[in-house]
Amino acid sequence: MAPAALVTGAGSGIGRAIAFKLSEQRPVGVFDRNESAAAAVARAICESGRQAIVLPGDVTRARDLSEACMTLSERFGALDIAVACAGVDTYGGLLEAAEEDWHRVMDINAKGVFLTSRAALPHLLRNGGGSLIAIASDAGLVGCPGFSIYCASKHAVIGLIRSIACEFGSRGIRANAVCPAFVETPMSAAYGAAAPRDEMDYWHATVPLQRFGRPEEVANVVAYLASDGASYVNGVAYAIDGGATVELHRGAA
């Protein structure tokens, strides 16, 4: 039996797609604070003839993550992949932002990756090595007006992952970050529903491919980084953004 993979935030969106993709090769732990959503994902994976278990929990609680990693290791013999995908967004001007917004976003987006890494790394090391992958954002690569707190949280994720790559690379751990731009998920749909139409047109126009990404496209990158095909890839912030971060924003055409 192949070692298992942990995917946080796996109840919907990008995390869901990652859980399905990784389940093609190994058992998957579907970790999410929405237990019913996690159960639906795990059930769908099992109905396709693969293996998955539900791991309800919150990435801001170290104990939840430690117990999840222990459960996976005991159930499947080992854990060699951990994907920190749970995240939230916030937007608005910096001067209007509430201190509570900072704490909420940093707790889930940055502290969540920190706690996931601390919980998973001992198991990956016990396995002789493994892959730790965090879902950051193109907002972790550039600044963006109106998204200061979100950008700060995703820059923190990339800094953390690069430091883990340096600290644990000699022990067989590869740590990488994946940096999507807008992806067609419930979270981006909620943002789009609240934003003016011309604002969404603007974001489309900033992408040379002229569309938003799909969760499955991000999942494919994660699966590659977790695979032996990426055995020499470590400490990378992998942009999957349709080219959005390689040119100056030009505004709506």
Give the Cα separation of 106 and 111 in Å (integer).
Answer: 6
Give the pairing type, strands 4-8 and 79-84.
parallel
Per-residue pLDDT band at 1 (split at 50, 70, 90): confident
| Sequence-ordered list of residues with C-beta below 8 angstroms from that of 165, at least 6 positions apart, any chain | 173, 174, 175, 176, 234, 235
User: Catalytic residues, which ones?
Assistant: 150
Out of 55-69, 176-190, 220-234, least confident range: 176-190
Burial of residue 130, with CB atoms counted within 10 A of its CB: 0-12 exposed, 13-18 middle, 19 or more buried:
buried
Give the Cα separation of 80 and 61 in Å (integer).
Answer: 21
Q: What is the pLDDT of residues 87-130, one digit of tens each?
A: 998 888 899 999 999 999 999 999 999 999 999 999 999 999 99
Is the pLDDT confidence value at 5 over 70?
Answer: yes
Q: Quick one: angle between helices 35-47 and 13-22, nearest 10?
A: 30
Per-residue pLDDT band at 253 (split at 50, 70, 90): very low
Give the Cα separation of 128 and 133 in Å (integer).
Answer: 17
Give the Cα separation of 132 and 164 in Å (integer).
Answer: 9
64 and 57 Cβ atoms separated by less than 8 Å:
yes
Per-residue pLDDT band at 251 (split at 50, 70, 90): very low
Q: How far is CA 197 from the centre of its chain?
A: 27
Mean pLDDT of 181-205: 73
Is the pLDDT confidence value at 249 over 80?
Answer: no
Phi, psi (degrees; rounded to nearest 5) at 42? -60, -40
Q: What is the pLDDT of residues 34-45, one digit of tens each?
A: 999 999 999 999
- What b-and-e string marks burial along 144-178, b requiring 16 or more CB atoms within 10 Å of the CB? eeebbbbbbbbbbbbebbbebbeebeeeebbbbbb
- pTM for this one? 0.93
Is the pLDDT confidence value at 225 over 60?
Answer: yes
Coil vs helix vs strand at 7: strand
Give the pairing type, strands 79-84 and 130-135.
parallel
Residue scoring higher pLDDT (252 or 38): 38
Sign of the Cα torsion 223, 14, 157, 31 reads negative
CATH architecture of the domain with residue range 4-241:
3-Layer(aba) Sandwich (3.40)
Give the Cα separation of 10 and 6 in Å (integer).
Answer: 9
For 240, the token pair is: 């999957």
Per-residue pLDDT band at 71 (split at 50, 70, 90): very high
pLDDT given at position 252 = 39
| Sequence-ordered list of residues with C-beta below 8 angstroms from that of 251, at least 6 positions apart, any chain | 202, 205, 206
